[in-house]
Structure 1
Amino acid sequence: MAPTLPLALLLALLAPGLGVAGPGCDYPAHLWCSSREIAVACQAESRCANVSHPAAAPVELSLFYESLCPACRWFLVQQLFTAWLLLPSEALTITLVPYGNAEEKNVSGKWQFQCQHGPEECLGNMIETCLMHEAKNFSTYFPVIFCLESGSSVTKNLEAQCLQVYAPQLDGGRIAACVQGDTGVELMHRNAQLTQALDPPHQYVPWILINGKHTDQLEEEAQASLVGLICRLYQVGQGAQEGGGTRPRPQGCCCA
């Protein structure tokens, strides 16, 4: 039979280098790195800095918008793109659904769309939808959409400017074929279904979901300081996974 080790000695062997607990530490050694507050109380911050923690789930943001809506363009360019640039991918995932207040009707078995800002907006919605379909990767298509929405023309700058600068590897001809063909229509119909399924139903655009939820308060916070909102929610998520408390802010949150 193997000799039995005293608990204190066993903990010391399992957690080498943790040192002696501070006078305000009432926690066993295996819990010293479970939260920042406990690490501080047990004077183990420097040792706990190298301990890995389970990753918190990223904050999920879904933007329901229109390609020519001024408020949508402002939010996408000024808040959303900035947050995406500043925050690590493990903190934020983004879904874009260009449709908004458009309406669809089925005419002789084919979907037709009427957009709040006219046919030009329907074309812009379709271009961005087909761009996402062809590019697949968010980090590939989002800079192109940013270029379109921040430029002089959402519908005229795709190949002339935005693809050349941000995604020259994409085939503009394939995107155009999608826009002009049945694939684009089906993709836009899917966007219509996603928008119509919102609960509560959207009342305006941009309509922002955070982790699948929309409230007026979340919308206002996202519009005022999206980086600050994401950083706060991500920290709370980390704390919940680690048994309470929060971890240091992720990169990009230093000034939020």
Structure 2
Amino acid sequence: MASSFAPSFLHLHLLFLICAVSLSPTSAAYSESRSSSNKVRVELYYETLCPDSYQFIVNDLIKLFETGIISVADLKLYPYGNARVGSNSTITCQHGPSECLLNTVEACAIEIWPALNDHFPFIYCVESLVYEHKYPQWESCYEKLGLDSKPIAECYSSGLGKELELQYAAETSALQPPHQYVPWVVVDGQPLYEDYENFLSYVCNAYNGTTALEACSKISLNTRKISKSTHSLGCEGNMPAVLGRIGSTIKSWIRQMNLAIWM
């Protein structure tokens, strides 16, 4: 699953990939002439300091750009994850204040630079630094990418960033079925559960446009059956759901034991 290239160089590689896709005459993601109805909607619900989240962004989500499949995908990011809204609309993040800061910064980036090819390189750069355990250096991404830091600083200090996070909180809470952990990947409205690393296959299966994608022909389209059970994840957020799964497992085991006794 691990990427074959060092994350410290990925922001430059990503910029090249995005530019190549956006300038391509066959690009659907950045062409105004293409109907958005043909795009496959890909939604990522995540939190910035969750190991499963930043590893997915750095090692897996990048493949949307590497393969060119981004040309038929509509990628939307929700940097909120397992945070909680308390009294007076205070937000508490699973991995502490630093995660709240970076969640808000990335929400501001999406708001200030709404085009994917504008905000994703910045988010990717930040998450690459998190991946390298250098997230206190996140502001270096402005210089690396030639971006003006003022709009993000103003978004954060004015309270707009918090408003955006409260909006993401509402959208995350409204998920049906509810998210159980992060990263929570949804393709055309269907959550992928623990098979999220195989998301490219689901995108290729869901695509019904006329543009033939060589990348999809190289990907196994025999996607595994989506399962509602989960593997061990470090960023689970819905404890009732977790306890429910544990309870179901225990009840199943008891039934099996009872059957074994009477056989």
TM-score by length of 1: 0.65
Aligned residues: 184
Give 1:88 deviation, angstroms. 4.5
- Match for residue 136 of structure 2 among 153, 156, 164: 156
Q: 1:172 to 1:122 in 2, by over 3 A?
A: same
Residue 253 of structure 1 aligns to which amino acid in structure 2?
C
* Structure 2: tracts of 5 or more residues without a match: 1-34, 220-263
CA contact (8 A) 1:88 1:251 kept: no
Q: Could you say which residue in structure 2 is the equivalent of 1:63?
A: 44
CA distance in 2, matches of 1:219, 1:154: 29
| Counterpart secondary structure, 2:215 | coil
Q: 1:249: Cα distance to partner?
A: 4.1
Aligned residue in 2 for 1:230? 203
Relative distance call for 1:255 and 1:158 in structure 2 (3 A) is same
Q: Does 1:86 align with 2:67?
A: yes
Runs (5+) with no aligned partner, structure 1: 1-53, 239-246
CA 1:251 to 1:165, structure 2 compared with 1: closer, same or farther past 3 Å? farther
Of all paired residues, the percent bearing the same amino acid is: 33
1:81-120 correspondence to structure 2 within 5 Å: 81-107=62-88, 111-120=89-98
Distance change (3 Å), C-alpha of 1:158 and 1:55: closer
Confirm or deny: 8 A CA contact 1:222 1:229 kept in the other structure.
Answer: no
Distance in 2 between the 1:180 and 1:191 partners? 18
8 Å CA contact 2:184, 2:196 repeated in 1: no
Aligned AA for 2:117?
S
CA distance in 1, matches of 2:153, 2:134: 14
Q: Is 2:93 the partner of 1:130?
A: no
- Alignment deviations for residues 79-133 of structure 1 (CA, whole Å, 9 cap, x no partner): 11221332244411111001111001242xxx21101111111111011001111
Q: Cα 1:211–1:154, aligned 2, differ >3 Å: closer, same or farther?
A: farther
Q: Write the letter of the residue equivalent to 2:157.
A: Q
Partners of 1:145 and 1:96 lie apart in 2 by: 10
Shift of 1:64: 0.6
- Counterpart of 2:218? 255
Does the Cα contact within 8 Å between 2:104 and 2:165 map onto a contact in 1? yes
Q: How far apart are residue 58 of structure 1 and its match?
A: 1.2
- Report which of the two structures shows the higher radius of gyration computed on alpha carbons: 1
Closer/same/farther in 2, CA of residues 154 and 187 from structure 1, 3 Å limit: farther
State the TM-score, normalizing by the size of structure 2. Answer: 0.63
1:207 to 184, 188, 209: 184
